[in-house]
Amino acid sequence: MGRARIAVAGAGLMGHAIAQLFASAGHPVAVYDPDPAALASLRPRVGAILELLDLDHGAIDRIAPTADLAAAVVDAVFVFEAVAERLEVKQSLFEALDRLAPPQAILASNTSAIPIGAIAARVRDRARVLGAHFWNPPYAVRLVEVVQAEATRPELVARTIELLHAAGMSPVHVRRDIPGFIGNRLQHALKREAIALVADGVCDAETLDRVVREGFGARLAVLGPLEQSDLVGLGLTLDIHRVLMPHLDRTPVAHPYLEAKVAAGELGMTQGAGFRRWTAAEAAAVRDRFRAFQVAQAKAAAKRPRAT
């Protein structure tokens, strides 16, 4: 038997990389997108990843771009959705997927933060809907959070984990369908405090990033936060928490400092200003640094034995 047929809905930043991942693992991959430009550029963008990672270009021939959703999913075993992060868009797409994909197909959303149960609201068989939250770019960051919603059949979570493993990814099982799952909750808890520190004038954005990159962030890839607590002893963590917890930011909405930046059009590097000011050369230097890191990570990941 050949490899399971995969369908990807959305040929954007995440969709094209998810397609590459499965095509490189030998799966036939149909990719649906309503935007002709996204479809036309799909294969060249996949080709660029293969070039970057020095992978077999034969994977491109296993990718079939289409503007016809029914054709994309008609014989799919797994469907991975990677369209805009808007509830209404995802709900209506899943309603269509439920109608068009085979009844036994697993329907997975790559949402960053929307609960899977909400995305599946208009699906008849909600037992087959789950989250498969990839990180950008999937070829360098192998973790995938596989999210079990209240209605999800556990066996389908296990099958998705198995598929991802076999494709060289590192899937984890998220047992509750909560906004942001695990990774984005942690990441944005850090961002909340980071924004508050800058907004309160404790430091500027550049200093804050240095504290993370050159401080505790440098060890995070080899030592998780709870491992680190176990390493130094929980007594120390408790002593620190007793002093610190009452002082951490607990703004229950998006921080007004962030709201004001966006309202002022200070959206980041492309505007020349975000949390800090950026010249074109400074922005290019950050992009180059990040790209070099991603390529090194991806090449190292290709050589590493897979976690079991």
Ligand X SMILES: NC(=O)c1ccc[n+]([C@@H]2O[C@H](COP(=O)([O-])OP(=O)(O)OC[C@H]3O[C@@H](n4cnc5c(N)ncnc54)[C@H](O)[C@@H]3O)[C@@H](O)[C@H]2O)c1
| Interface residues toward ligand X, by CB under 6 A | 9-15, 32-35, 38, 82-85, 89, 93, 110-112, 134-136
**Paired residues of 78 in beta bridges:** 6, 106
Task: Give min distance, CB of 37 to ligand X, in A.
Answer: 8
Task: Give min distance, CB of 71 to ligand X, in A.
Answer: 13
On whether the CB atoms of residues 110 and 48 are closer than 8 A, the answer is no
Residue with the shortest CB distance to ligand X? 12
Cβ closer to ligand X: 81 or 156?
81
Task: Give min distance, CB of 96 to ligand X, in A.
Answer: 8
Task: Give min distance, CB of 25 to ligand X, in A.
Answer: 19
Question: Could you give the strand order of the β-sheet that contains 129-134, starting from the edge strand earlier in sequence?
Answer: 63-66, 29-32, 6-9, 78-81, 106-109, 129-134, 143-147, 170-174
Letter string b/e over residues 121-158, b meaning 16 or more CB atoms within 10 A of that residue's CB: eebeebbbbbbbbbbebbbbbbbbbbbbbebbbeebbe
Cβ closer to ligand X: 196 or 295?
295
Cβ closer to ligand X: 78 or 134?
134
Q: Provide the sign of the torsion angle of the four alpha carbons 244, 247, 252, 257, taken in this order.
A: negative
Task: Give min distance, CB of 238 to ligand X, in A.
Answer: 34
On whether the CB atoms of residues 169 and 49 are closer than 8 A, the answer is no
Cβ closer to ligand X: 84 or 186?
84
Cβ closer to ligand X: 34 or 44?
34
Query: How far is the C-alpha of 78 from the C-alpha of 107, rounded, in Å?
Result: 6
